[in-house]
Amino acid sequence: MSEESPESRSAAEKDGDNARAAAAAERTDGADETDAVEEETAGENGPESPTAEEPESALVSRVAEFDETLAEDVAALEARLAAAEEDLEERDDRIEELESALKRSKADFKNYKKRAKKRQEEIRERATEDFVGRIVSVRDNLVRALDQDEDADIRPGVESTLEEFDRILEEENVEAIEPESGSDVDPTRHEVLMRVDDEEPEGTVADVYRPGYEMAGAVVREAQVTVSTGEGSDDEPSTDGDSEA
């Protein structure tokens, strides 16, 4: 075999290198065309998604979470509303109790004022009755003084004083209780001292020993009277005990 020269080997190597480079370029162009076709196809069909069911499942989950949250919020609002209604009802009951208590207090105070006024009137009447009772006792003494000494020098003064007493009693609406002989005995206005033989009907007033007095219809002092037995006599009057004996 003949040996090749260095120049021949060098040319052959160059040819081989060129052939390999051309094949590589061809492969690269083919790959680029394939990639371009795939990109075009992907552009037409849109981006790939893992599956079609995954977005719908996520939406359902979000809706379920929203419904649950909404239900919790509604339940909380309903609880607050119920608590507010209960509190309002309690306040209404309390207001009703206070109004009722106020009405009772007003009624009690009104009744208290009436009782206090009535009590004051009663105290005033009793005080006036006590005063009138003392006054009429003094009047009795003046009357007795006039009866005992008709010619005394002091008679005009006593009569004047007696007239003044009567004027005061009249101003205080005080009237004398002096039943007529033969009139019926009134236990509420007459005090029976004794039974006497008299021409008046039995059980009626024979005589007035001491006049009584009444003020505004209330008896201040009962009139002291004697009661007739119905038998006329000039004898001394007898007591109930003597007549029964």
Which region among 35-39, 62-66, 121-125 has the lowest average model confidence (pLDDT)? 35-39
Q: Cα–Cα distance between 192 and 206 in angstroms, integer?
A: 10
Residue 9 has pLDDT above 60, yes or no: no
User: Six-digit token pair at 28?
Assistant: 């690269």
How many alpha carbons lie under 13 Å from residue 15 in its C-beta half-sphere?
6
Residues 35-59: what's their mean pLDDT? Answer: 56
Q: Cα–Cα distance between 188 and 226 in angstroms, integer?
A: 15
Give the residue extent of every domain in the chain. Answer: 174-245
Q: Cα–Cα distance between 106 and 114 in angstroms, integer?
A: 12
Can you give the pLDDT at residue 46?
Answer: 46
- Return the CATH number of the domain spanning residue range 174-245: 2.30.22.10
Global pTM exceeds 0.85 = no
Angle (nearest 5°) at CA 174 between 171 and 177: 150
Q: What does the pLDDT look like over 108-157, one tens digit per residue?
A: 999 999 999 999 888 887 787 788 888 888 888 888 888 877 777 788 88
Least Cα distance to 223 among 181, 176, 167, 168 occurs for 176
Residue 243 has pLDDT above 50, yes or no: no
Residue 25 has pLDDT above 50, yes or no: yes
Which of 8-22, 35-49, 213-227 has the highest average model confidence (pLDDT)? 213-227
Least Cα distance to 179 among 148, 165, 200 occurs for 200
